[in-house]
Homo-oligomer: A and B are copies of this chain.
């Protein structure tokens, strides 16, 4: 017999995630101190840490959410769709993605944990590229993996640029990538 309905809990959880995203994005992982998280979320330590056992777990939950969402968009709307989403998405999205990359960089144990997170989505993405090579929508003088990796690189590059606050005009980038991966 909990004190509050599970709907209330779910709402609070969202409130915490949303506030935390703002804080992590604006200040980075280290810079998002607990007092700042409290302020951005609008709840106290006591509340926050009753939903997530530690700051790291809170951050990780955000990163997983985003990763899953990005995969879905890619599958549904293609690579251009992802780029467009990034460009118009609130920069909060970007901040967490960027911080995560940084943390994976210096902590090998996290890297492994995170890479085996959703191999299935990756496999489906590669499969889709291969199919498009067969129908001559994409160049086939390079491996599907290489094409996929290139798109990933552009994606990360855009994230960095947007994260750094640079104004990014997304359409030329899409045109350039299209030219890069078109049949030669």
Interface residues of A (CB under 8 A from B): 26-28, 30-31, 95, 98-99, 101-106, 108, 111, 139, 142-143, 146-147, 149-150, 152-161, 163-166, 168-169, 172-173, 175-177, 179-182, 184
| Copies of this chain in its oligomeric complex | 4
Report how far A106 CA is from B26 CA in the complex, Å. Answer: 6
Beyond A154-B154, A156-B157, whether A104 also contacts B164 by CB under 8 A is: yes
Q: Are A105 and B163 in contact (CB under 8 A)?
A: yes
Q: Are B165 and A161 in contact (CB under 8 A)?
A: no
Report how far A170 CA is from B166 CA in the complex, Å. Answer: 25
Report how far A101 CA is from B143 CA in the complex, Å. Answer: 31
Q: Are A149 and B164 in contact (CB under 8 A)?
A: no
Residues of B within 8 A of A157 (CB): 152-158, 160
Nearest neighbor of A150 in chain B, beta-carbon distance: B176
**Which one, B153, B180, B182, contacts A161 given CB within 8 A?**
B153
Give me 19 other A-B pairs in contact (C-beta within 8 A), A28-B105, A153-B173, A177-B180 excluded.
Answer: A27-B106, A31-B106, A98-B105, A99-B102, A101-B163, A101-B164, A105-B163, A105-B165, A142-B172, A142-B175, A143-B172, A146-B172, A149-B172, A150-B176, A153-B157, A155-B157, A156-B156, A176-B180, A180-B180
Q: Are B168 and A161 in contact (CB under 8 A)?
A: no
Report how far A150 CA is from B155 CA in the complex, Å. Answer: 11
Nearest neighbor of A1 in chain B, beta-carbon distance: B44
Nearest neighbor of A143 in chain B, beta-carbon distance: B172
